[in-house]
């Protein structure tokens, strides 16, 4: 799997979690499920960070540039 495929997989995973969060909010689950909701939101943030890192790696390859 190349970098482009990895980046696409990360984007897809992030979008799936975002959809789960939206569905969770729309269905109005009980407040006791707030921990689950918080976990999903943290996962989205972490996936977003991974996508940004992967995008930087795709455009800036330190090994190729001899850094």
**Cβ-based burial of 17 (10 A; exposed 0-12, middle 13-18, buried ≥19):** buried
Chain segment 29-53, per-residue pLDDT in tens: 665 577 777 878 888 888 888 888 8
pTM of the model: 0.58
Q: Of the ranges 10-14, 24-28, 35-39, 58-62, which is most confident?
A: 10-14
Residue 67's pLDDT band, with cuts at 50, 70 and 90, is very low
Task: Tell me what pLDDT residue 1 has.
Answer: 60
């Amino acid at each position: 799997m190349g970098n482009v495929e990895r980046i696409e997989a990360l984007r897809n995973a992030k979008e799936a979690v975002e959809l789960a969060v939206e569905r969770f909010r729309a269905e109005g689950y009980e407040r006791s499920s707030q921990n689950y909701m918080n976990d999903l939101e943290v996962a989205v943030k972490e996936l977003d960070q991974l996508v940004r890192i992967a995008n930087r790696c795709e455009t800036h390859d330190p090994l190729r540039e001899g850094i």
